[in-house]
């Protein structure tokens, strides 16, 4: 039976975590204890250890299996078992306990966690901490119940109406204000290589409906003569003008027309081609959740991750897409638009 912290006399102490909250400029690191030693626990530790702000000190892992004591998982080791959790947390003056059990039923030391929480220790869900710290969802370890009972995926009618209004105003103003630039780009494409100025391609939109996406042509007109291929970051099929259009994301500008037609939004997951969607939904969990919102000209994944040139890249980008779908809001859209401006100006991470 798991030992409950109710058998201990609570000790009043001046917690470093409280000081760090009150005075964030002190730079005090929060001491984290991770419950579990599986894949989620491993990945969360890697995320926290890789944070540039260096805000966390990973003390180690707590296991259900005593035979795993001393096992090296990432950098910290398994340093305790659940029956000694309260004593371990008190001795190490823990600030955060992250619950990362692969299966919580029958393993959750509820009474002990409640005692620790009453002493000021933060008890957090490992999925939630992972999401907050890296801006993506751990789709391989994610249980459907986390998504079902999470506070995300809200679609308030007023907020969605405002998002659509922003799309209409933004795309209309974009087409009018950028008209001279659009004509210059069209002329440069014509002078650079033979073929049409606009490239039309079938993509999968909201609710899985196909539509025709518009782009400035950035590849040779015979780029897919041998069939559909993943586009590479330094694709030899890209023209000279196309290279700069992709680098500055100017090839996406004709999609303002898609936004006006209601097929796209200014911000959302980037739409994929039907051939790739069919392949990706078979091997990547929760893939079709990205189709519950309109695809976007720019998105959270595009501002946080490199160019997707493979299935592995798409797997990582979906983690960012699902974060966006789960946390969709006008404030997040504004943040993404500002980051996109930075990408365009600096040419960082552009396709």
Model confidence pLDDT, tens digit, residues 144-184: 888 888 888 888 899 999 999 999 999 999 999 999 999 99
- The C-alpha atoms of residue 45 and residue 36 are separated, in whole angstroms, by 11
The residue with greater pLDDT, 12 or 232, is 232
- The C-alpha atoms of residue 201 and residue 219 are separated, in whole angstroms, by 13
Structure tokens at 230: 């993943």
User: Which CATH code is given to the segment(s) 5-134?
Assistant: 3.40.50.720
On whether the CB atoms of residues 271 and 264 are closer than 8 A, the answer is yes
- The C-alpha atoms of residue 116 and residue 96 are separated, in whole angstroms, by 10
Pinpoint the residues of the chain covered by CATH 3.40.50.720.
5-134
3-class secondary structure, 252: helix
Residue 3 DSSP one-character state: P
| Closest of 83, 85, 70, 107 to residue 34, by C-alpha | 85
The pLDDT of residue 350 is 45
Lowest mean per-residue pLDDT among 76-85, 122-131, 305-314, 316-325:
305-314
pLDDT tens digits, one per residue of 84-123: 999 999 999 999 999 998 776 667 889 999 999 999 999 9
Residue 102 DSSP one-character state: S
| Closest of 122, 85, 80 to residue 2, by C-alpha | 85
| Closest of 307, 288, 162, 200 to residue 243, by C-alpha | 307
b/e sequence 217-240, b meaning 16+ C-beta within 10 Å: bbbbeebeeeeeeeeeeebeebbe
- The C-alpha atoms of residue 260 and residue 313 are separated, in whole angstroms, by 30
3-class secondary structure, 91: helix
Model confidence band, residue 6 (pLDDT cutoffs 50, 70, 90) = very low
CA distances (Å), origin 287, targets 130, 142, 213: 19, 13, 20
The pLDDT of residue 53 is 72
The mean pLDDT value for 47-58 works out to: 84
- The C-alpha atoms of residue 292 and residue 207 are separated, in whole angstroms, by 6
The pLDDT of residue 1 is 39
3-class secondary structure, 288: helix
| Closest of 77, 95, 69, 84 to residue 16, by C-alpha | 95
Neighbour-count burial of 349, counting CB atoms closer than 10 A to its CB (0-12 exposed, 13-18 middle, 19+ buried): middle
pLDDT tens digits, one per residue of 248-276: 889 999 999 999 999 999 999 999 999 99
The mean pLDDT value for 1-10 works out to: 43
pLDDT for 294 beyond 70: yes
The mean pLDDT value for 340-351 works out to: 67
Task: Calculate Rg over the CA atoms of the chain.
Answer: 24
- The C-alpha atoms of residue 25 and residue 7 are separated, in whole angstroms, by 37
Lowest mean per-residue pLDDT among 242-246, 265-269, 324-328:
242-246
**Average pLDDT over all residues of the chain:** 85
Q: Which residues pair with 202 in a beta bridge?
A: 212
Model confidence band, residue 23 (pLDDT cutoffs 50, 70, 90) = very low
pLDDT tens digits, one per residue of 197-229: 999 999 999 999 999 999 999 988 766 656 566
The mean pLDDT value for 21-50 works out to: 80
- The C-alpha atoms of residue 98 and residue 221 are separated, in whole angstroms, by 53
Percent of the chain with pLDDT over 90: 60
């Amino acid at each position: 039976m798991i030992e409950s912290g109710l058998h201990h006399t609570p000790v009043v102490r001046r917690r470093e975590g409280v000081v760090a909250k009150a005075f964030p400029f002190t730079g005090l690191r929060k001491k984290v204890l991770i419950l579990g030693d599986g894949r989620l626990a491993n990945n969360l530790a890697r995320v926290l250890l890789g944070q540039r702000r260096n805000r966390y000190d990973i003390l180690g892992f707590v296991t259900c299996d005593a035979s795993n004591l001393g096992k090296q998982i990432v950098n910290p080791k398994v340093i305790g078992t659940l029956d000694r959790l309260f004593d371990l947390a008190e001795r190490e003056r823990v600030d955060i306990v992250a619950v990362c059990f692969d299966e919580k039923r029958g393993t959750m030391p509820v009474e002990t966690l409640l005692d620790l929480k009453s002493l000021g220790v933060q008890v957090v869900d490992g999925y939630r901490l992972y999401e907050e710290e890296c801006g993506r969802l751990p789709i391989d370890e994610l249980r459907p119940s986390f998504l079902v009972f999470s506070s995300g995926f809200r679609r308030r009618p007023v907020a969605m109406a405002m998002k659509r209004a922003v799309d209409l105003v933004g795309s209309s103003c974009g087409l009018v204000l950028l008209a001279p630039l659009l004509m210059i780009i069209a002329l440069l494409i014509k002078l650079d290589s033979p073929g049409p100025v606009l490239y039309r391609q079938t993509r999968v939109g909201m609710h899985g409906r196909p539509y025709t996406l518009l782009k400035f042509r950035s590849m040779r007109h015979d780029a897919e003569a041998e069939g559909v291929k993943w586009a590479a970051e330094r694709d030899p099929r890209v023209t000279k003008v196309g290279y700069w259009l992709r680098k500055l994301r100017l090839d996406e500008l004709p999609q303002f027309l898609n936004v006006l037609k209601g097929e796209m939004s200014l911000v959302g997951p980037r739409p994929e081609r039907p051939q790739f969607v069919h392949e990706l939904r078979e091997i990547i969990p929760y893939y079709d959740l990205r189709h519950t919102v309109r695809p976007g000209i720019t998105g959270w994944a595009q501002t946080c991750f490199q160019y997707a040139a493979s299935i592995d890249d798409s797997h990582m980008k979906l983690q960012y897409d699902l974060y966006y779908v789960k946390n969709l809001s006008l404030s997040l859209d504004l943040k993404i638009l500002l980051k996109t401006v930075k990408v365009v100006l600096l040419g960082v991470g552009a396709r």
